[in-house]
Structure 1
Amino acid sequence: MIAAPIFGFFGDRYNRKFLMMIGMIIWIMAVIASSFCKPGHYLLFLTCRAVVGIGEASYSTIAPTIISDLFQGKTRSRIFMMFYFAVPVGSGLGFICGSEIALLTNSWQWGVRFSPFIGAICLLLMFFLLDEPVRGACDGATQESGADDEDRGFWSDCKYLFGIKTYVFMVLGTTTSFFSVGCFSWWTPGFLGYASATIQNVPVVTDSELSYINTMFGIVTCIAGLLGVAVGTFVARAWTEGKGCFSYCQSARADVYICALSMFIALPFLFFGIVVSEYSINWSLLLLYFAIMSMCMNWAVCVDVIMYCVVPSRRSTAMAVDTMIAHLFGDASSPYLVGLIADALCESNTAYGHYFALQKALYVPCFVLILAGTCYGLGAFTVENDKRECEFAMGANPAQPANSPEDRNNLVVPQNEVVDDDEDEEGPQLANHHNLQQLEEEEDLINFEETGDDVEVIENCVENCQNLDFLPPVIPWQWNDEQVRPKSGQFVEEEQFDMRNLKDADESSSEDENVGGTSSNS
């Protein structure tokens, strides 16, 4: 939590691969060192466990930015989905492997030591296989948006980030959702253990029963987390593209909608899972399964929203600030607060007394999900505008397939003629100046100031197309001259120039010449 801003600051300015490797080495050494702490050295053990967070801060803040620079669009969403599979899978395997190894070896130390071996493998793979990507390359960025400003500091980045309304709403939603998720991941195994002892009417829960509950909860967390991240990503993508059942309600705000709905869907399952635990552990686990799956639906989607609303040169800092705030006011404090409430409500030092005290205390993070869903939902009002402003700040020019249907909406059209929307069998027709004025009123086109280079560029394009036997692709035409930028300052998509009409006109003139020549000869 404390180290996240440090790694975020350096991650926007230096080699991210080596920063993650440094963090991974710190993590491995801290985990191994914590397992050798003696019972009388609690402060040393606590320090080692705190240092573990330094390593986690490195890849939790930097890894998403590398993914965003390696992939884009639908592929990026799927890669984020696979990346955030690690959260539920790691948590579930921690419960399963840690408890089983500790039970077999009769030592909790060996339950901790198995994870550094996995970390060492990841470190080697990172060293040999990972290459540092160019920031913003996959977003079509043509400028670093302040990355070269030597006077830009951490507070300047924070001021920029908190000026993005969507980012603020995502941070608030993540913080409140972490409050609930962190609390339940900490207290649920013990809570279900007390519930089992209460159902069996025994004063304490046995070690074997507690190990069984830890294993079952780990399995539930793994499966529910995997399905939750996958379902959230695929539903958000289908909703954005208008596929399947979303064909009549396609929306560019789908990512934010999924984040909000996941919190509201999880609420009833979580509430009744707490209530039913008094009567059946298995039914409680089933309801908690659906609750965990719903709460995991927003993980990859939320990060994807942050990535496309923040410029590449500040994305590591954005993830760092989000991580720091979410952990500080979320899962770092919620278990302690719920524990205080449970201790205040506990009437007897028995399994029965602890169970009912925890049951009442866990209702607090349960209803915090309402606040989380509300914060995410507010982002729906700002996400489209913030995404456009981010693309404009990058000078982004995303690539499109040649002669795709979208090209007709991205043409750079001369001031006195436009491509008419009404097409006949002969192809597109040219509208007159009156039609242009009408089209401007209907579609709110933005006029550019004329420059002397326009005529020269068009003449060169005509000359280059005279001897072509194929239809040339769409040529991206990026306006670098400030004279042709819109004076309003609002975002304009990068215009493209289509030479289809020029080629058709040239072919038509050639045919007329041939016909004229034939007539004269005859």
Structure 2
Amino acid sequence: MVNETRDYISIVILFCVNLVNNIDRFTIAGVLPEVQSYYDINDSMGGMIQTVFLISFMIASPICGYLGDRFNRKYIMMVGMVIWLICVCGSTFIPGNLFPLFLVLRSLVGIGEASYVNICPTMISDMFTTDKRTRVYMLFYLAVPVGSGLGYIISSNVASLTGYWQWGVRVTGIGGVIALLALLFLVYEPERGAADKVEGKESVRRTTSYMKDLRILLRCPTYVVTTMGYTCLIFVSGTLTWWMPTIIEYSAAWTRGYASIKQLPSSFKNQTGIIFGLLTTAGGIIGVLLGNIIAQCFLYGWLGQWSKTKRGHLIAAGLGAMIATPCLLALFTLGHKSEILTWVLVGISCTGLCFNWSLNVEVFNQVVAPERRSTAFSYVTLVSHLFGDASGPYIIGAISDSIKSGHVDSPEWDYKSLAYASLLAPFMMAASTLLYLLAAILFKRDAANLERQMTSHIRNDDKKAAYSLDIWSDDCLDNTSKF
């Protein structure tokens, strides 16, 4: 660790920023049926709310990544949070006949979020050395499942108490103001590569163009393949968190013989939001912790010498995706037969989906140099959201509308259309599993290359060895790396 007291204070504040971010991201999902009724929109437009937010999030991410590698990261994050606060609160005052304006403001929320989602991980990598960084990332990314679950619980219950869905969204603004003030006064800007210097590694800090940085990233197979695996997973997690509460309500209305979900008791809707939020939170916490424990088992050979490998992070991420695949298939084919079965499958799926949250970041840290990490994270954000949860909710909603067309408007076909459309999810998770395991095969060579580039005293024979095509053994890493 570079400076223990300041680093601990900073990580607590950055955790809170990440928590507020994820709470807000899922507040709309917690009141989605009410929003659809208020603006009189169908499933496609319901999914579009998330899509437009993520489009601006993606567009802003490379810009924030470029700035984050070159300017003060703390100030960039603060500007982003101000934009976020204005747009979140402003969107709740849009009347029911101005849905396009509501979409515009929800999209601009993405600009604010992009500023700190892409920069926080790079600041942490400069505060903590490799032996502590995995555990710190684990704690930092616990904000994702906790925030997601709280988003559903807070928005649905505040909306129920006040009678207005808008208050379920506005409440996150209070937390945002507190987080902004804490960021201003308590977080410091670490030197880029500071933690690596503590470990005796010195980054080769050459002045390179932005396009050259991109070419270097594209020539790193581990970076590219891991991003692809993460994208498949984000497609699934984004669509699941967006549509699952609605699917459950349609299923309940159908099995109870109601003509519309409006006939469901408000107590059931509140209960659904609370249970889904708690399962998302619990599954996420267990998934993040379990993913890191499994990674540590492989990294340190806790299961025996045969299991010791530097590829532990990627193997654990692949196992999480593998666990979620059959559970999602069962969820969308058998879930309507039992509410208990539905909740069990949702919990296990959320657990598997959350294995990778902190693991991905540490993989990228081990194959990407400090001076281009913000850029690297920004393009992971761009690609994963463009082909993941930005397009996912809309695609599932559009497929659902297509299936539902020609059938009687009823809870039965509302449920079946969304459930059938969501069967795309387990196939995406199977692809994610294969991609993570492929990245594990490629990882050793790319990590060894970066290790040599960041070592102050490099022998000529080491430079040649860095391009070895032996991607199967850990010998190279064992001789050159202690991470």
The TM tier, using the shorter chain, reads 0.7 to 0.9
State how 1:191-230 maps to structure 2 within 5 Å.
191-205=247-261, 206=264, 208=266, 209-230=268-289
After superposition, the C-alpha distances for 1:71-116 in whole angstroms (9 at most, x for unaligned) are 1223111111111111111111110010100111111111111101
Q: Which residue matches 1:122? A: 179
Q: Does 1:306 align with 2:364?
A: yes
**How far apart, in 1, do the equivalents of 2:201 and 2:444 lie?**
21
Which amino acid in 2 is paired with 1:228?
Answer: G
Which amino acid in 2 is paired with 1:254?
Answer: G
Query: Which of 391, 395, 412 is the matching residue for 1:352?
Result: 412
**How far apart, in 2, do the equivalents of 1:324 and 1:145 lie?**
26
1:490 Cα shift? 2.6
Worse-matched range after superposition: 34-43 or 259-268: 34-43
Q: Which residue matches 1:457? A: none
Contact 1:198 1:278 in 2 (8 A): no
Contact 1:169 1:378 in 2 (8 A): yes
Q: Which has the higher helix share?
A: 2
Q: Which residue matches 1:316? A: 374
**How far apart, in 2, do the equivalents of 1:246 and 1:112 lie?**
49
Query: Which of 382, 390, 393 is the matching residue for 2:450?
Result: 390
State how 1:174-323 maps to structure 2 within 5 Å.
174-205=230-261, 206=264, 208=266, 209-243=268-302, 245-323=303-381
1:132 Cα shift? 1.1
State how 1:386-465 maps to structure 2 within 5 Å.
386-395=446-455
Q: Does 1:74 align with 2:131?
A: yes
Query: Which of 51, 69, 79 is the matching residue for 2:108?
Result: 51
CA, structure 1 residues 187+304, in 2 after alignment: closer, same or farther (shift >3 Å)?
same
Which amino acid in 2 is paired with 1:338?
Answer: I
Which amino acid in 2 is paired with 1:136?
Answer: G
1:20 Cα shift? 1.0
Contact 2:196 2:202 in 1 (8 A): no
CA RMSD of aligned residues (A): 1.9
Q: Matched residue of 1:349: which SS?
A: coil
CA, structure 1 residues 83+246, in 2 after alignment: closer, same or farther (shift >3 Å)?
farther
Contact 1:203 1:352 in 2 (8 A): no
CA, structure 1 residues 487+170, in 2 after alignment: closer, same or farther (shift >3 Å)?
closer
**How far apart, in 1, do the equivalents of 2:478 and 2:387 lie?**
41
CA, structure 1 residues 204+74, in 2 after alignment: closer, same or farther (shift >3 Å)?
farther
Q: Which residue matches 1:486? A: 461
Q: Does 1:160 align with 2:216?
A: yes
1:142 Cα shift? 5.3
Q: Which residue matches 1:424? A: none
**How far apart, in 1, do the equivalents of 2:77 and 2:445 lie?**
33
After superposition, the C-alpha distances for 1:350-404 in whole angstroms (9 at most, x for unaligned) are 00111111121111122111111111111112111111111222226xxxxxxxx
Q: Which residue matches 1:8? A: 65
Q: Which residue matches 2:440? A: 380
Contact 1:96 1:218 in 2 (8 A): yes
Q: Does 1:334 align with 2:309?
A: no
Identity among equivalent positions (%) equals 35
CA, structure 1 residues 488+178, in 2 after alignment: closer, same or farther (shift >3 Å)?
closer
Q: Which residue matches 1:514? A: none
**How far apart, in 1, do the equivalents of 2:421 and 2:274 lie?**
24
Q: Matched residue of 1:112: which SS?
A: helix
Q: Matched residue of 2:387: which SS?
A: helix
Contact 2:444 2:477 in 1 (8 A): no
1:40 Cα shift? 2.5
